[in-house]
Structure 1
């Protein structure tokens, strides 16, 4: 795993429940091993309930509510998957805005499995090359992305992977991109209609 995150804070954005536990814990551990400080950001205070497939798993304490979180406090953003997690996040305007703000700030974002649903809602996939859990391929193409079936895809600071089997390479690339810092081409896409 290349890149040092010494002294850097990394946001992990999840909903109140439904995050796939391993897609939260493995990248979290990778950030810690690289010297970074991961912070759990969620839609409400207290704790979040993770899942293993569809079975309830552990709970994790929330560090900050998304409405109180500032993108400038973080070097990058990790979006773990799970089916329910991104589906819930994309219905929370503060969460969608938080994601979009990372792109506007040209900061790295790493999303795995179903997490690109939140990217679609933030309107940041147009013209980008990425991957995801295969069932999202049509959604991503309809949102203007170029979808590909690969373990990991890196597109100017945006790191995406398909599922937990890809976690080794996903974690390595996420740390690498966050360590590199801002990416000038990592900016929020503007719809062809000119609307923001």
Structure 2
């Protein structure tokens, strides 16, 4: 049996997502046996990454039931600035966090949990460009490849993807209370 057999993860996508930050974790989780579902504002829409790689959403934010998932992965790029404008996306992130499920975000994706108001008093990282945003939201910001604070998993940039994915897989396969 695969490490993550029976686990389900939601991925958020919008225009100008960071291609590697969506596809690398998505493929790694699938390799470990997890089911992944891509959600966006509009079901079935094809979104282009910053580097042109397409990703078609499978469901809309409105169709997501957080109870059906063990966690979420939010890629960076410019997409998080768009995603955080959708109240339903923020509600999903907040409900997953409140249920102590994995909330993983990388690079600029910290904007989404900031807007969901789940980061105050938590330890996390991000790309340096949004460090001030993170700190102003009450985050204990550190400059490390991956930061795990309970159910939160954060990383800085695509260079940190190996550590980011290892942390997600370890947390999801550990039998922790968060999944």
Fold-level similarity (TM above 0.5): yes
Q: Aligned equivalents of 1:182 and 1:19: distance in 2?
A: 30
Q: 1:183 to 1:50 in 2, by over 3 A?
A: farther
- For 2:134 and 2:7, the matched residues in 1 are separated by 30
Match of 1:26 in 2: 24
1:77 to 72, 94, 104: 72
1:183, 1:139 → 2: CA distance?
A: 29
User: How far is the alpha carbon of 1:68 from its aligned partner?
Assistant: 1.1
Contact preservation (8 Å) 1:11, 1:77:
yes
Question: Could you tell me how far apart the structure 1 residues matched to 2:69 and 2:153 are?
Answer: 16
C-alpha displacement of 1:49: 2.1
Say if 2:153 and 2:164, in contact at 8 Å, map to a contact too: yes
Q: Distance in 2 between matches of 1:31 and 1:116?
A: 21
Mark the runs of 5 or more structure 2 residues left unpaired by the alignment. none
Q: Do the aligned residues in 2 keep the contact of 1:13 with 1:41 (CA within 8 Å)?
A: yes
Partner Cα distance (1:46, 1:64) in 2: 7
The aligned residue for residue 38 of structure 1 is 36
Equivalenced residue count is 178
Aligned equivalents of 1:179, 1:141: Cα separation in 2: 30
- Does residue 118 (structure 1) correspond to residue 116 (structure 2)? The answer is no
